[in-house]
Amino acid sequence: MGDDPELEAIRQRRMQEIMAQQGGQGGQMTEEQQQQQQEQQQQAEERRQTMLNQVLQPAARERLARIALVKPDKAKGVENMVLQMAQRGQLNEKVTENRLIGLLEQVNEQSSTKTKVTIQRRRALDDDY
């Protein structure tokens, strides 16, 4: 099957043609789709920031911004928690810095993963035994 170099060359050319056709047709659509998706993400992020500004006190907002610089995943977790609480009506007043610290501790407890390292020595190569 793979012994015929001429047949293999034809297969490779055909595969390249197929790939070029798929890339040429899909390239324009994906570029437009990517642009639309990027705009949607930007609008969603703007809505998210507006909601956070409404439910966070300035000091809490500043703390969350500083945390986002260092650990973006934890900041997103706290933001999600605050937004969920606001949507459920659990927030009677704006979130203070102290309450934000409590939420951060909750996120730390939820996301903390304990790492365990075990060292296994090879006894065959060890001269001490």
| Contact present, 123 and 129 (Cβ < 8 Å) | yes
The per-residue pLDDT for 77 is 86
How much is the pTM?
0.58
| pLDDT band at residue 69 under the 50/70/90 scheme | very high
The per-residue pLDDT for 63 is 93
